[in-house]
Amino acid sequence: MIREYVYGLAAVSPQDGKFSALVLPWVDAEAMSVFLAQTSADFPGEYCLMLLDGAGWHRAVALRVPPTLRLLPLPPYSPELNPVEHLWDHLRENYFGNRVFPSLRAVVDCLCQGLSYLDSQPELVKSLTCFDWIKALRLT
């Protein structure tokens, strides 16, 4: 058995259902820096708070964080607090569940198809990610 991997990174704005995503062949501080730059470009003129789990590349010293982003680490073992986790749940349930893929390329195609669909459905993304505590935030 040979294991191959691909990584999906996403950041979501729960209030309006917009998100930024990249599919990458690996993750490290450099890849995460590219993703942060892309996210900053996808939300021009906005200051973004990004919730992150404890992955090493989320807190690497070499990480380049754009001035319009603030990274906020979540407590350990608390993925339910991160809105973007619900995008991954949706993709697993609706695109990946009980399937065998003939190649990594097929996995990437399926992931991109699911992300593209979500990108076209901001109301669905809002319903998946805009938790009550997020709705209660005062945005100024």
Average pLDDT of span 29-55:
92
pTM > 0.75:
yes
pLDDT at 136: 79
Q: What is the pLDDT of residues 53-68, one digit of tens each?
A: 877 788 888 899 999 9
Give the integer Cα–Cα distance in Å for 84 and 116.
15
Q: Work out the mean pLDDT of the chain and round it to a whole number.
A: 91
Task: Please give the average per-residue pLDDT across 3-11, as a whole number.
Answer: 93
Q: What residues make up the domain containing 36?
A: 7-135
The count of domains in the chain is: 1
CA angle 49, 50, 54 (to 5 degrees): 140
Question: Is 100 inside any structural domain?
Answer: yes
Q: Is residue 90 situated within a structural domain? A: yes
CA distance 20 to 84: 10
CA distance 135 to 11: 17
CATH number, domain with residue 128: 3.30.420
Instruction: Classify residue 65: in a domain, yes or no.
Output: yes
The reported pLDDT for the residue numbered 138 is: 66
Could you tell me the pLDDT band of residue 77, with boundaries at 50, 70 and 90? confident
Q: What's the pLDDT band for 103 if we cut at 50, 70, 90?
A: very high
Per cent of the chain over pLDDT 70 is 98
The answer to whether residue 140 is domain-embedded is no
Mean pLDDT of 106-128: 97
